[in-house]
Amino acid sequence: MRRWLLAGALAAETLPLIQRVRRVRMLSHRLIEGELGGEQVAVLRVGVGPDKAERRTREAVQRWRPSHVVSFGTCGAISDDLPVGSVVGAASVRISESVSPADVLPGLRGVNLITVRRAVASASWRDELAAQGVHVCEMEASGVRAASRGLEFHAVKVVSDLAGGGGLDLSDPGPLAVMRFKALAALLVGEHLAPELERALSDYASSV
C-alpha cells in the first residue's frame, strides 16, 4: 500500500491541506495522518529552512514509514511566465551546485527548483538564477529530499511572489510582513495547491 508523507513548512501551508484530509488522526503536534485523494497520507509541518526540513522529515520517515514523500508549499517565481497562484511540480531539485532529478506528479507543469537559505529579494539574484535555468525558488525541498533517499520524491509548490521581480516584498523581516505572507500562503495553498495536490494523488492512484 502506498503511504504519502506530505511535508510543508508552516502551519499556514499545512492547515489548509489538512482541512481536505479525511479520517484525520493526530500523531503529534507536527504530524497527522488520514486519507486524501483516495490515498493514505500523513501531513508534516517541518518549519522553515532545509536543515529543519531534513531533520524533521527524517524523523517522520522513521516513524511513519512512507513509500512516497512530497515537499509542498509556496515558492518564488524566477520565470516570468509563472504568475502568482501557479501550481508546479519539480522536475529537478537543486541546492548550491548539487542537482538531483525529481518525479513530477500527473497534470503538473515540471520546473527546475532551487532551495535557498534566504528569500530571493533582489532583481540581480533573480536574473542570475534565471540564467542558470532555474524556474522557482523555495527553502525546504532539498532538505525533505535529503531525508527521503530511497523513496519516491515529489515537490509541489504554488507561486506566492515573483522573487525580487516585483509584487510581494520579502526583504522586510518585520512581523507585519510575516503576517501578510502567512495569510497569502494560507489562501494560495487552500485555493490552488491543496485541490491540485489532491487531484494529482487521485490521478497517480488511477495510473498505477
Domains of the chain: 3-207 (3.40.50.1580)
pLDDT for 3 beyond 90 = yes
Write the CB contacts of 23 (distance below 8 Å, at least 6 apart in sequence).
34, 35
The pLDDT of residue 97 is 77
Question: Is the confidence at residue 164, as pLDDT, over 90?
Answer: no
In the chain the first and final C-alpha atoms are separated, in Å, by: 12
Length of the chain counted residue by residue: 208
**How much is the mean pLDDT over the chain?**
94
Residue 84 has what pLDDT? Answer: 95
- Other beta carbons within 10 Å of 204: 21
Q: pLDDT tier at 171 (50, 70, 90 boundaries)?
A: low
pLDDT tens readout for residues 80-119:
999 999 999 999 999 877 889 999 999 999 999 999 999 8
Residue 166 in this model has a pLDDT that exceeds 80: no
Judge whether residue 173 has pLDDT over 70.
no
The DSSP secondary-structure symbol of 148 reads T
Closest CA to 45 of 6, 88, 93: 6
Average pLDDT rounded to a whole number, residues 168-194: 85
pLDDT of residue 86: 98
What proportion of the chain, given as a percentage, has pLDDT over 90? 83
Given this model, what pLDDT does residue 61 score? 98
Global confidence as pTM: 0.94
Q: Which residue has the higher pLDDT, 201 or 167?
A: 201
Q: Bridge-partner residues for 109, per DSSP? A: 88
**Burial letters for 48-76: b for 16+ Cβ neighbours within 10 Å, e otherwise?**
ebbebbbebbbbbbeebebebbbbbbbbb
Res. 22: pLDDT tops 90: yes
- Interval 29-51 mean pLDDT: 97
- Give the span between the Cα atoms of 69 and 66, in whole angstroms: 7
User: What is the per-residue pLDDT across 130-141, written as a single tens digit (0 to 9) for each?
Assistant: 999 999 999 999
CB 107 within 8 A of CB 198: no
Compute the distance between CA of residue 177 and CA of residue 87 in angstroms, rounded to an integer: 23
User: At residue 167, does pLDDT exceed 80?
Assistant: no
Q: What is the pLDDT of residues 44-91, one digit of tens each?
A: 999 999 999 999 999 999 999 999 999 999 999 999 999 999 999 999
